[in-house]
Amino acid sequence: MALHETDAPDKAARTLTASLRESSGYDPAYALYLEIKGADAIEYFDKLYQLDQFEERPLIWKAQHLLDQGKIEEAMVHYKKAYELMPSSFGRVESHCFGCESVFKGDQPQSIAEEIFQNMLLTQAEVPQVHYLMGYLRDYQERETEALKHLQDAVELDPDYLNAWKKIESLSKRMQMDTVTQDQLILKIYALDPLGKHSSPALHEVRDLKKMWHAVLDNRKRIQVLPKDTQVYPLKASAQQIAALATNPLTTYMSYEDTVEHPAEALIRNRVIEKIQDLFVQLSHSENI
């Protein structure tokens, strides 16, 4: 990106080809390479696919470019092939950037995806990724009730399917589910990913403080299996920057999703407690008037 912005597109392109060869799963690299090379990027995408025929990204980026060029039939062939690869390439925490890929953008790609995923539901109903993909498509189409059903089917087949739980939790807010359900979803995600490496468990939004306390207590035992190394070389400048951020009210929200290692930390950051604190402040002000 820096090379591209400094008018060194050739160097940027070479850097991107090397990067994509080693790690063909980074969508922004595809987007930038396509921006630099235009139609010439397609030849390299073909080579990437030949190197790894289980990775659908080169196909999707190629299909998107062809669609933008009005080559609809040719684009649909590559979309179809990419959609067929998806269930086998997805894990419980897939790293795909659907927004970057514009994977379901437009009626024609959606129609192809619909056909492929519906057929897979008939032939691979036991595969949770198939239900997840159908749920993702329905969510993209704003058919939230149907999306929820498919995602629930996915987690029923695989209760540890983190990304499916994340999508359900996101839907729960938009569909205004009851607070008990929303709490359960947040705590489920937290239980699966206590360090927040693949998600951002919104503990500050949990209303049932007792359940949250016990959840953090349980996960604390898991986190302590691999304690932090306090003997590493101290980076004083970084420590000072972090300390400054911690005292800055503008960056307080950023700390919500830090790793919570004690129930008291979660309690202090929780919005219920914050509202109670605000209420006490207001009462104290009114008494002083």
Task: Supply the range of the domain harboring residue 13.
Answer: 1-121
- Please check whether residue 102 lies inside any domain of the structure: yes
Per-residue pLDDT at 94: 61
- Please check whether residue 47 lies inside any domain of the structure: yes
Q: Are 1 and 116 within one domain?
A: yes
Of 98, 121, 144, the last residue of a domain is 121
Q: Give the pLDDT band (50/70/90) at residue 120.
A: very high
pTM, full prediction:
0.68
Q: For residue 136, give every residue at least 6 positions away whose Cβ sits within 8 Å of its Cβ, in sequence order, or none.
A: 98, 104, 147, 167
Least confident of 86-100, 151-165, 255-269: 86-100
- Please check whether residue 55 lies inside any domain of the structure: yes
Of 103, 121, 139, the last residue of a domain is 121
Q: How many domains does the chain have?
A: 2
pLDDT tens column, 275-289: 777 776 677 666 655
Of 121, 150, 166, the last residue of a domain is 121
Name residue, tokens 């235009």: 38
Q: For residue 81, give every residue at least 6 positions away whose Cβ sits within 8 Å of its Cβ, in sequence order, or none.
A: 56, 59
